Structure 1
């Protein structure tokens, strides 16, 4: 299975994140039927993992559930100590220099909030200002900007436990950025957000990267987040990297397709337009597949000009399906 990992040599000069031959195992005790004692089993979460990230890169770190994504991020932040290999972030060993590194990174771990549960949201922000010793003027500037862009103005006096998942996620992102980190790790940052809020958050992250050169590592199952933000993706499965390169290259290698779902005004024979193939027909609804790296615009235009369309939508390929297909092709090679 080919990769582009050689384009991102972990020893290259100027790399902000350097990972080489990284390993992490866990000892798990399992009950054995018919025995009083539990057996000890070693589970490999990450192994032989190598990559590097340059300052200012926006990298999608993706893979199926249980692939080792969260374990990797925890080693990059110093929460977990590697079993083997080497990792450095901003020239620091995360597990040995965790306090110093904390001032240079921001982290949002999905549904695990870094906010104080029973305090109003603004109190969490003010506590973080003191913890990170953020100059008052810079704190106020950052806070005002994030509140406006992430639409948190009406939630500042609300206890965190009363916030919706989407509101809390926006609060966690604000908390992670108040101290101007060099690196931002995001785990499912758009979970619980509506379409408009997702769009605003993506635009915010793009502007943050452009204006401050903030390095971003994003783990998500929402492929639209990756497409909107990341030029590069690292795919991890069974604890190791199976692809490192562009998103278009991943789809091409995995052979994935996108789907155009067309609702016609009336039932009709299978739609016949260049560049797409009908996969399924149910009454007036038809499903057309086309290569994931192809533009949907000419296909949509062709359908709209030749047929009476009531509605249409595009379904993106599921990243787990892309990886599954990538692996099946590798196994057959």
Structure 2
């Protein structure tokens, strides 16, 4: 089974020692000879597979184990136990050969040299990855054109905006056209236009080169735009591995009706109007805005809208499905994924 997978992870675990200091001068002397510590599991026996050409969202709260597991997948950290095979290799045992087959973009770390022009960084990386002039020219011409970074190539990295730098970082990770791309918060802090440009580009390289992409992000709009599958971590364990559509079908229990009234409205007024219908009324950012959470039933939705409109003057009304972001937040608040 592992032979047909781009990423094969079986019961992967990473433990760290957490040391604590004793109080007082006597305790400090004792710490010189013996230290108190406990074992913390940052990654606690996770298992999942990624097929060639898949785009998978890898999500979790801070401290869930995402970064630690990504570091093991890229060969930076050695696992405490378990098995990991990426692109047919053991990442930390065959590191030199392995790193030539992957691309990595960390949103808060740069692989470009700060004080030299972007194109000089590209040339240095070309030498590092031993990319021929022909392959570099044919592949990077498309990358540079699609990401619209040609005007940036002669500028030092330190003079680029965040959005410009991230587009250049993405191009740098693809100089050797790797079959596997790890993206850790690639759109952090970027504006909508740059985000859309990066998303469009990632879709294109996935379709054109069958590039496998593992995407770690807190922006679930990136996941919805790019990935059909999501792996969700919590406290070092995989709590969900499946399609976004299945996640939404399992957790999306209703819809939201957004009302904007002509005047300030109290909750008691809305509760009386919805008597006999189960509605969870939540206030908006202003007192003339209210959100009614109801079951996904056309008759129920029509009934509650008719009751409110007949009694209260409204400026606007919208019906919205619950977003993936809200679903994921509810999962973490409740602590488990429903069976």
Interval containing the TM-score (normalised by the shorter chain): 0.7 to 0.9
Q: Could you tell me how far 1:320 is from its partner in structure 2? A: 5.6
For residues 39-88 of structure 1, what are the alpha-carbon distances to aligned partners after superposition, in whole Å with 9 as ceiling and x for unaligned? Answer: 23322111211111100011111110011101111111111111101100
Alignment of 1:179-194 (within 5 A): 179-194=176-191
Give matches, 1:20-59, under 5 Å. 20-34=10-24, 35-36=27-28, 37=31, 38-59=35-56
Q: Tell me which of 90, 93, 96 is aligned to 2:93.
A: 96
Deviation at 1:29, TM superposition (A): 2.4
Say yes or no: does 1:322 pair with 2:330: yes
Aligned residues: 313
Give the whole-Å Cα distance in 2 for the aligned partners of 1:219 and 1:135. Answer: 31
Change (3 A) 1:275 1:107: farther
Deviates more, 1:37-46 or 1:263-272: 263-272
| 1:216-231 superposed matches below 5 A | 216-231=213-228
| RMSD of Structure 2 on Structure 1 (CA) | 3.3
Q: Deviations over 1:245-272 (max 9, x none)?
A: 0113334445577767665666578699
Change (3 A) 1:329 1:47: closer
Structure 1 residue aligned with 2:246: 249
How far did residue 283 of structure 1 move?
A: 3.2
Cα distance, 1:134 vs structure 2 = 1.4
Task: Using structure 1 for the length normalisation, give the TM-score.
Answer: 0.82
1:202 and 2:199 are equivalent in the alignment: yes
Name the one with the larger helix percent: 2
Aligned residue for 1:20, secondary structure, equals strand
Q: Please state whether the residue corresponding to 1:46 is helix, strand or coil.
A: strand
Q: What's the secondary structure of 2:4's corresponding residue? A: coil
Secondary structure at the counterpart of residue 5 of structure 2: coil
Mapping for residues 143-182 of structure 1, pairs under 5 Å:
143-182=140-179
Within 2, Cα distance between the matches of 1:113 and 1:262?
A: 45
User: Pairwise mapping of residues 13-24 of structure 1 onto structure 2 (< 5 A)?
Assistant: 13-24=3-14
Deviations 1:201-253 (A, max 9, x none): 11111111111110010000111100111111111111111110011333444
Residues 46 and 71, structure 1, Cα contact 8 Å, conserved in 2? yes
In structure 2, C-alpha distance between the alignment counterparts of 1:260 and 1:148, rounded to whole Å: 43
Task: Write the distance in 1 (CA, Å) between the matches of 2:49 and 2:190.
Answer: 30
Q: Measure the CA separation in 2 of the matches of 1:46 and 1:159.
A: 39
Gaps of 5+ in 2: none
With over 3 angstroms needed to count, the CA separation of the structure-2 counterparts of 1:254 and 1:205, relative to structure 1, is: same
- TM-score of the superposed pair, with normalisation by structure 2: 0.80
* Aligned 1:44-123 pairs, distance under 5 A: 44-123=41-120
Which one has the largest radius of gyration?
2
**Any conservation in 2 of the 1:254–1:325 contact (CA below 8 Å)?**
no
Contact 2:251 2:327 in 1 (8 A): no
Please point out which of 131, 135, 143 is paired with 2:132: 135
Tell me, what secondary structure is at the counterpart of 1:123? helix
1:308 maps to 2:298: no
The residue that corresponds to 1:284 in the other structure is: 288
Deviation at 1:143, TM superposition (A): 2.5
